[in-house]
Amino acid sequence: MRVFSIVCVVGLLSTTALAAPAPMTQDSGAPVGDNENSKTAGPEGPVLLEDFHLIEKLARFDRERIPERVVHARGTGAQGMFVASEDFSRYTKASLFGQAGKETPVFVRFSTVMGFRGAPEAARDPRGFAVKFYTDQGNWDLVGINEPVFFIRDAIKFPDFVHANKPSAITDIQDPNLAFDFFSRTPEATNMLTYLYSPIGMPASYREMDGFGVHAFRLVNAQGQQIFAKFHWKSVQGIHGLTLEQQQTADPNYATRDLYDNIRAGHFPKWDLYVQVLTAEQVAQLPYDGFDDTKTWENVPETKVGTMTLNKVPDNYFQYTEQSAFAPGVMVPGIEPSPDKMLQGRLFAYADTQRYRVGTNYQELPVNRPLVKVANNNQDGSMSSTPQVGEVNYEPSTAKREGAVTPQPSFKLSEYPVSGAAQQNAIAKTDDFGQAGEHWRSLGKDGQAYLIKVMASDLSQVTDHGIKLRQVSYFYKADRGYGTQLAQATHLDVTEVAALAAKEMSH
pLDDT in tens, the chain (507 residues): 333 343 343 344 444 456 788 888 888 888 889 888 888 999 988 888 898 888 888 888 888 889 999 999 999 999 999 999 999 999 999 999 999 999 999 999 999 999 999 999 999 999 999 999 999 999 999 999 999 999 999 999 999 999 999 999 999 999 999 999 999 999 999 999 999 999 999 999 999 999 999 999 999 999 999 999 999 999 999 999 999 999 999 999 999 999 999 999 999 999 999 999 999 999 999 999 999 999 999 999 999 999 999 999 999 999 999 999 999 999 999 999 999 999 999 999 999 999 999 998 899 999 999 999 888 888 888 778 877 778 888 888 887 777 788 888 888 888 888 888 888 899 999 999 999 999 999 999 999 999 999 999 999 999 999 999 999 999 999 999 999 999 999 999 999 999 999 987 654
Q: Residue 363: which of 383, 388, 333 has the closest Cα? A: 383
How many Å separate Cα 193 from the centre of its chain? 18
What's this model's pTM, rounded to 2 decimal places? 0.91
Task: Please report the sign of the dihedral spanned by the C-alpha atoms of residue 401, residue 403, residue 408, residue 412.
Answer: negative
Contacts of 419 (CB under 8 A, 6+ apart): none
CB atoms within 10 A of CB 431: 16
CA pair distance 163, 150, nearest whole angstrom: 16
Residues 459 and 179 sit within 8 Å (Cβ to Cβ) = no
Q: Residue 230: which of 340, 381, 139 has the closest Cα? A: 340
CA pair distance 128, 108, nearest whole angstrom: 10
Residues 345 and 156 sit within 8 Å (Cβ to Cβ) = yes
CA pair distance 309, 267, nearest whole angstrom: 10
Residues 459 and 194 sit within 8 Å (Cβ to Cβ) = no
Contacts of 220 (CB under 8 A, 6+ apart): 92, 93, 226, 333, 334, 335, 336, 414
| Bridge partners for 82 per DSSP | 104, 308
Q: Residue 143: which of 404, 325, 411, 393 has the closest Cα? A: 325
As a residue count, the chain comes to 507
CA pair distance 329, 340, nearest whole angstrom: 13
Residues 68 and 62 sit within 8 Å (Cβ to Cβ) = no
CA pair distance 84, 273, nearest whole angstrom: 9
CA pair distance 160, 251, nearest whole angstrom: 30
| Bridge partners for 80 per DSSP | 106, 310
| Bridge partners for 310 per DSSP | 80
E strand intervals along 240-342: 270-278, 303-312, 335-337
First-to-last alpha carbon distance for the chain, in angstroms, is: 73
Which DSSP state fits 25? Answer: B
Helix residue ranges per DSSP H, 124-240: 158-165, 176-183, 190-196
CA pair distance 15, 2, nearest whole angstrom: 20
CA pair distance 61, 411, nearest whole angstrom: 45
CA pair distance 128, 416, nearest whole angstrom: 31
Domains of the chain, CATH where assigned: 75-364 (2.40.180.10), 434-505 (no CATH)
CA pair distance 207, 269, nearest whole angstrom: 6
Concatenated DSSP letters of 350-408: HHHHHHHHT-TTGGGSTTT--SSPP-SS---STT--S---SS--SSS----STT-----
How many Å separate Cα 63 from the centre of its chain? 25
Q: Apex CA 435: angle with CA 430 and CA 438, to 5°?
A: 155
**Residue 473: CA count within 13 A, CB half-sphere:** 22
Residues 150 and 342 sit within 8 Å (Cβ to Cβ) = yes
